[in-house]
Every structure is written in C-alpha cells, then in structure tokens.
Amino acid sequence: MATEVKIPAMGESISSGILAQWLVKDGDYVEKDQPIFELETDKITSEANAEVSGRISIKVQADEEVEIGQVVAEIDESASAGKKKEKSESAEDGSKADEASRSEASSGKTDHGESAEQAAEAEPEPNEPAGDTPAPLLPGREPTAHYALSPAARKAAEETGVDLGRIEGSGKDGRITKDDILKVAERGPSESREESAEDSPPAPARRAEDSRETRKKMSPLRRKIAERLVAATQEAALLTTFNEVDMSAVMQLRKQHQDKFVERYGIKLGFMSFFTKAVVHALQAVPAVNARIEGNEIVTQHFYDIGVAVGTDKGLMVPVIRDCERKSFAEIEQDILDYAKAAREGKIAISDLEGGVFTISNGGIYGSMLSTPIINYPQPAILGLHNIQQRPVVVDGQIVARPMMYLALSYDHRLIDGKEAVTFLLKVKEAIEDPSRLLFGV
C-alpha cells in the first residue's frame, strides 16, 4: 500500500509555495516523522515529516511551485524495515566479499586464478596512453545514481553530460547544485581526478559561461516582504523621529548581574529584554501608539504583544513575544532565543508571526549607525536600534565618553502626531537610562 505525501495546509492565507528541497533521495527508505522536504511560502519556510515508514517515490522535483494539498511523493509501506534490513545485510555480505578479495590479492592470487605479477604485466606501461580512463568515484557515490536535483541542476547535467557520481555536492546534505555541475564541466574530464601534485596552484574560479550577471528567482518569502514594504509606504504616512540613549546604566546592570542571571536561568541577559520592557512602558504611557487604523475606525489595543525582527538566510521574520507586560526579563530573553532558533531552522509557525502591536528591529547587531525603519503594517510604529559607540557627551558640564546608541521611531503620521511620537521615544530613552523606572512605572 502506498501513502500519498501531500503539501500540508499552512494557514488560511497560504495557498501555494515552493518545494525548496528534498531532504531524502528518490527510493530512500524513510522512517515515520522523519523530515523529508522543505516548503517555502510567502510567510515561512518549514519542514514536512513522513506520516508513515516506507520507501519514498518522489513525484515533484525541488524548486517547483506546488499547491496546498498537491501530491508530491508516495511512500510504499510494503517496503518494511525487514527489506531495509535485508538490504543492509546484502551490503554487509558485499563488504565481506570485498574483504575476502583483498585477502586473496595479498596472498598473490586474483579471482581469475592469476598471480598478482601476471596481472601487473597485463597493465599498460606508465608512459603509454591508457585511453579515456574514468576518474575515480568519490567515496559513497555510485555511477548513474538517481540524484534529487533541482530543474536547473538536472538541465545542466543533461547538457554537459557530467557523471554525477564523480561530483561532491556543496548543497545541504551533500546535494549537487547547478554550480557544482558547471564547475566540473569547465575543468574537463582529466581534471575531475584527484590532484596528483599537491603543490600545483588551484585554477582561478570562473563564473558559469563567464557571465557578468546571475539571475535567481525571487522566493515567495522575499516577494511577500517586498509587497508588504511597498504597501506600508503606500498606505501609511511614514515619518521618523530620532533620539539617542546613553547605555551606561543598562551595561552596568548586565555586568553586575550577568553571572547570577546565567547561573539561575541558563541564558544571558541581553539588551533586547530591556528595550522590550521599555517599549511596553512607553506604550502604556502613550496609548495612541498602541493602536491601528481599520477603515474609518481607530482601534486601540490593550495588550502588549511585541514583535522582534529576526534575520534569516531566507529573509526577515518578526516573531511576536506575547504578553510582555506580564513576563520577566528571563522569560522575554528565552522567548527571543527560542523564536530566533526556530526561524533560522525553518520551524517557526504562522501563529508565531501574527498579532503583534509594535515591532523592535535591531540593526546594530550588523553595525548599523542610523536608519529609518519601515513599519510592519498594519502596526502603527517600529523602533530601530543601532550600534553602540563611545561618543563624547556633556554630563554635568564635563565632556565625557559614553556608550551611546541612536534610536529611530518610524510611525504612521495619520494616527500618531509628532508630540505623541516624541513623548514615546523620550519614555523609552528614560527607561533605558534609568531602568529603575521600569520597576515603578514612572
């Protein structure tokens, strides 16, 4: 009996996606709950697991667009673990046969009854041409094996005629990419062998077909990010207000309590929990910023679910930390770590990205000095954090060096006036420069 592998439902707003890559090969035996492919949608990239155990037959290649509910593979449940074991035993018998063959060779006999010396005499002399001898297979590779290739890689393989069994894939889990195939094709058959002279300088890398440009299809997630950013600039009246904050107090607190914090909670005390608490403090003081526009109505929100932007290799994601006004610093730090890990591993859920009232984006971790972030529409505002730098400031009439950070608040001017935006930003600044305010709500 064969069980169909279908593209799972990802949420009401998602109807299709890209089958980003197979995590198994056609014909592999897969276990129940084993991850078998990655699906990339306009919101998230997630793994799909096998519902049953058996041998998988792939119907749709990687990089193809698929619909929710579409059949992309079948799993033959009749290919039980017993068959898998039988295959393993066969391989073991083969290994034993190889070992016996090597033993015979060491005793001076081949499997045809020839002596090793006679066999050597039949080989061509070193200075004679030996014909088009194929390059040695890479360990664990089989010639003419069926590899799970993307359409682009498969086309390149057909056009170049390169033997896939002699290519070491650079993709995830050793996956062979189009680039791998083209590089081997450019080197030619003689250079696919292992280098005999270790001191030979490597040939300079060349782009495919010496092209000055590379084209790559935009991923669904990147398309969605682009659409949302354009929509935000078209729908909202965006304005950015700046301020700067002295990080001395927060840095001193972290230094003073870091060891105890790690000892008790097993995680480090970072800056993001301070800023998350400071944003909640400012939202409570300036309720107009904790609102959104729906048609002709202004909806004021009385909860504090704060989005924290996380950069991944697929694009920017904004998981939402729920009920931040009730959570401790440790709980917020743990949530941020968990969401960031899930986002980068493609295991984050749609529900984790929905329902935020405000977003914090920390470009400072990449070295950003100053920026004007775009709101995560329909949220009304976003706080941009930047790099901490020692700068001269005047304190009590004296010029001193302090660790300073620029803050940028971008907001929808249709909803938030300048006075409210400036007040909000000052509340954040005061809470960071004097964290005791967060204890007393002043």
What DSSP designation does 109 have? B
Say if residues 426 and 243 touch (Cβ distance below 8 Å).
Answer: yes
**Helical spans, DSSP H, in 21-177:** 81-106, 116-121, 151-160
Tokens coding 89? 């035993």
Tokens coding 409? 């608040």
Give CA–CA dist 209/393, Å, rounded: 55
Neighbour tally for 87: CB within 10 Å:
12
Q: Cis link prior to 378 (omega < 30° from 0)?
A: yes
Give CA–CA dist 147/24, Å, rounded: 10
Amino acid at 356: G
Tracing tokens 């608040």 back to the chain, one arrives at: 409
Burial class (CB in 10 A: 0-12, 13-18, 19+), 375: buried
Amino acid at 230: V
- Does the annotation count 335 as an active-site position? no
- Does the annotation count 412 as an active-site position? no
Q: Of the residues 26, 28, 179, 413, which is catalytic?
A: 413
Helix 329-344 / helix 248-265 crossing angle, nearest 10 deg = 80
Q: Which helix (H) or strand (E) holds 251?
A: helix 248-265
**Helical spans, DSSP H, in 210-247:** 220-235
CA 305 to chain CA centroid, nearest Å: 24
| Terminal-residue alpha carbon distance, the chain | 67
Give CA–CA dist 209/250, Å, rounded: 54
Give CA–CA dist 177/271, Å, rounded: 40
Q: Of the residues 93, 111, 259, 417, which is catalytic?
A: 417
Give CA–CA dist 161/85, Å, rounded: 35
Strands, DSSP E only, in 222-367?
238-246, 291-294, 297-300, 306-308, 310-312, 315-317, 320-321, 358-362
Say if residues 180 and 166 touch (Cβ distance below 8 Å).
Answer: no
Catalytic residue numbers, as ranges: 413, 417
